[in-house]
Amino acid sequence: MPLTLQRPDLLRLTHYIDGRWCEAVGGARFEVDDPALVRAFASVPDGDARDAAAALEAAHAAFPAWRAVSARERSRALARWNALVLQHKDDLGRLISREQGKPLGEAVGEILYAASYIEWFAGEAPRISGDVIAAPMAGRQMLAVKEPVGVIAAISPWNFPAAMIARKIAPALAAGCTVVAKPAEDTPLTALALVALAEEAGVPPGVLNLVTASRANAASVVDVWLADARVRKLTFTGSTPVGQHLARESATTLKKLSLELGGNAPFLVFEDADLDAAVDGLMAAKFRNAGQTCVCPNRIYVHDAVHDAFVAKLAARVAALKVAPATDPLAQIGPLINAKAVEKVERHVRDALAKGATLVTGGQRLPELGPNFHQPTVLTGANDDMAFSREETFGPVAPVFRFTDEDAVVAAANGTPYGLAAYFYTRDVRRIARLAAALEAGLVGINEGAVSSEAAPFGGIKASGYGREGSRHGLDEYMQLKYLCQGGLDG
């Protein structure tokens, strides 16, 4: 089916460097697949080190002028960008659905989510302030001022092609930084369209630069930015091994880092929980984007006393989910991103069944819809030997573990190297206080499954990384403190 946009010029198929839409220096291109059909429908430049270097030169040259623009002006540029993103949300949603696969309603929802970060940081920019410090001796004035860190490199993932890049670029621009960005090779088109709208909003040439590259060439682009001391910060959302690599390689130039990495979120349902609310929360958290989010519950622990009732309610809801291509207006679960993703889901289900789990619903691929579709699945009898206890499934599989003891389940929930999200449902206020303190995660949903918000600090601990996106803390990631000490004022 052709990709029909109200604004066909939002389908941008070249790099954006120094205010120019351009091909890769080497002239190569790579194809972008529709994950529902596993068929190419567009192509973009396959950038390499030369394109990365050109983008960096542009961002470096643009930095002095952009940081000198008043925070109020930068805020206005972001506000104009936000308005354009909202105005074109349907086209942007279509681009997401086509390259990433999520149903159109959900894709437009992601655009609203992306825009909320742009709006938020448009609001934060004029409020940047530092400290006037009470000097411990006479005759001194002591100030702590905030400055933009400089050029930042943003490397964004495929699962939220708009929201993840927006929440990196918007605070960077608000702070007065300039940007070189590389979107995931699976989903470059949404990022390019967002950049086109930023250009239309009046973001000056060189301030925002975007280079696309295939999986094979991604490292040659990123390596240029990693090695160059002019890139003062790197922000990345993706897997823990890649995040570890980026942290190691950034060490030479001591870049500031924000790393939003893998997770293995526990979801705990206690015997006193409101079961309907818990099922609603789990559906929202687990099946958003077909289970392809870093904050998806990966291990669901349900108290023995409510286990069967909870599973019955959950299974009825999951079995009713409509799996279909994004073009179907009733679709709730789209295709997974690629063959590797479906194979992982199948491996986790197979492994669990071989180790004694029971299949309650789902469990199969849906080849009649396309090679990347998989049924949403509920398993019971999950245990710590199963692969999803250690690995993030990143797909629509909900494995249910049974528990009886609070201390034991908290230990199990924390028994992972990761620490991004955790959720629990209970009505006991003392337990809420205990678990809020005990759970090792950067984000904790308490009787709530949909925790993400532009107003909140998003990020993990342990192997889920460090740094925060969103909220006022998300702006500080792009700023550095400078202490000014003026003496001789007592004369």
| Least gap, CB of 323 to ligand SIN (angstroms) | 20
CB 422 within 8 A of CB 410: no
Of residues 453-482, those binding ligand SIN (CB under 6 A): 458
**Active-site annotation holds for 73:** no
| Token digits of residue 300 | 């669901």
Question: Of the candidates 154, 174, 257, 294, which one interacts with ligand SIN according to CB under 6 A?
Answer: 294
Q: Which is nearer to ligand SIN, 178 or 298 (CB)?
A: 298
Which range in 53-61, 90-98, 291-299, 318-326 contacts ligand SIN by CB under 6 A?
Answer: 291-299
The two beta strands, 231-237 and 397-403, are unpaired
Among 30, 66, 121, 160, binds ligand SIN (CB under 6 A): 160
Stretch that binds ligand SIN, among 21-29, 119-127, 155-163, 209-217 (CB under 6 A): 155-163
Nearest residue to 64 (alpha-carbon basis) of 176, 209, 205, 173: 176
- Asked whether 16 and 208 are in contact (CB, 8 A), the reply is yes
Is 260 labeled as catalytic in the residue annotation? yes
- Rounded distance between C-alpha atoms, residue 197 and residue 87, angstroms: 10
The yes or no reply on residue 237 touching ligand SIN (CB under 6 A) is yes
Q: What is the DSSP string of 234-270?
A: EEEES-HHHHHHHHHHHGGGT-EEEEE----EEEEE-
Query: In this chain, which of 452, 465, 468, 477 binds ligand SIN, going by CB under 6 A?
Result: 452
Q: What's the one-letter identity of residue 49? A: A
From CA 25, how far away is CA 46, in angstroms rounded? 9
**Based on C-alpha coordinates, what's the Rg of the chain?**
23
Q: Nearer Cβ to ligand SIN, position 163 or 172?
A: 163
Distance of CA 260 to the CA centre of its chain: 7
Nearer to ligand SIN, 30 or 113 (CB): 113
Nearer to ligand SIN, 260 or 406 (CB): 260
Residue number of the CB closest to ligand SIN reads: 452
Size of the site for ligand SIN (CB under 6 A): 10
| Binding flag, residue 426, ligand SIN (CB under 6 A) | no
Tell me if 21 sits within 8 A of 192, measured CB to CB.
no
Closest approach, Cβ 239 to ligand SIN, in A, equals 11
Is residue 258 a contact point for ligand SIN (CB under 6 A)? no
Closest CA to 264 of 165, 387, 426: 387
Q: Is 182 exposed, middle or buried (0-12, 13-18, 19+ CB in 10 A)?
A: buried
Nearer to ligand SIN, 52 or 163 (CB): 163
φ, ψ of residue 288 in degrees (nearest 5): -60, 135
Contact 431, 409 (CB under 8 A): no
Q: Output 148 or 262, the one with its CB closest to ligand SIN.
A: 262
Q: What distance lies between CA 141 and its chain's CA centroid?
A: 42
Nearer to ligand SIN, 159 or 214 (CB): 159
Beta strand 256-260 with 265-269 is unpaired
Cα 81 from Cα 117, distance rounded (Å): 11
Options 57-65, 156-164, 177-185, 365-373: segment touching ligand SIN (CB under 6 A): 156-164
- Near ligand SIN by CB under 6 A: residue from 116, 264, 293, 380: 293
Q: Amino acid identity, residue 190? A: T
Q: Which of 295, 321, 337, 410 binds ligand SIN (CB under 6 A)?
A: 295
Q: In which residue are the tokens 């400055």 written? A: 147
Q: Residue 100 interacts with ligand SIN (CB under 6 A)?
A: no
Least distance (Å) between residue 156 CB and ligand SIN: 10
**Do residues 378 and 315 make contact, with C-beta atoms less than 8 angstroms apart?**
yes
Q: Which of 423, 31, 404, 19 is nearest to 215 (CA)?
A: 31
Using the minimum distance from each CB to ligand SIN, give the nearer residue, 30 or 458: 458
**Does 240 help bind ligand SIN (rule: CB under 6 A)?**
no
Which one from 260, 392, 454, 477 is the annotated catalytic residue?
A: 260
Piece of the chain touching ligand SIN by CB under 6 A; list 47-55, 87-95, 157-165, 191-199: 157-165
Which span sits near ligand SIN by CB under 6 A: 79-87, 159-167, 249-257, 393-401? 159-167
The one segment of 4-12, 38-46, 292-300, 310-318 that binds ligand SIN by CB under 6 A: 292-300
- Greatest Cα-to-Cα distance within the chain, rounded to the nearest angstrom: 85
Complex with ligand SIN: residue 214 or 293, whichever CB lies closer: 293
Q: Choose which of 82, 159, 264, 393 interacts with ligand SIN (CB under 6 A).
A: 159
Q: What are phi and psi of 181, to 5 degrees?
A: -130, 150
**Do β-strands 397-403 and 256-260 pair in parallel, antiparallel, or remain unpaired?**
unpaired
Q: CA 46 to CA 188: how far, in whole Å?
A: 11
CA distance 126 to 122: 8
User: Are 436 and 428 contacting, i.e. CB atoms less than 8 angstroms apart?
Assistant: no
Catalytic residue, chosen from 124, 177, 294, 454, is: 294
Q: Which residues bind ligand SIN (CB under 6 A)?
A: 159-160, 163, 237, 260, 293-295, 452, 458
The residues assigned a catalytic role are 260, 294
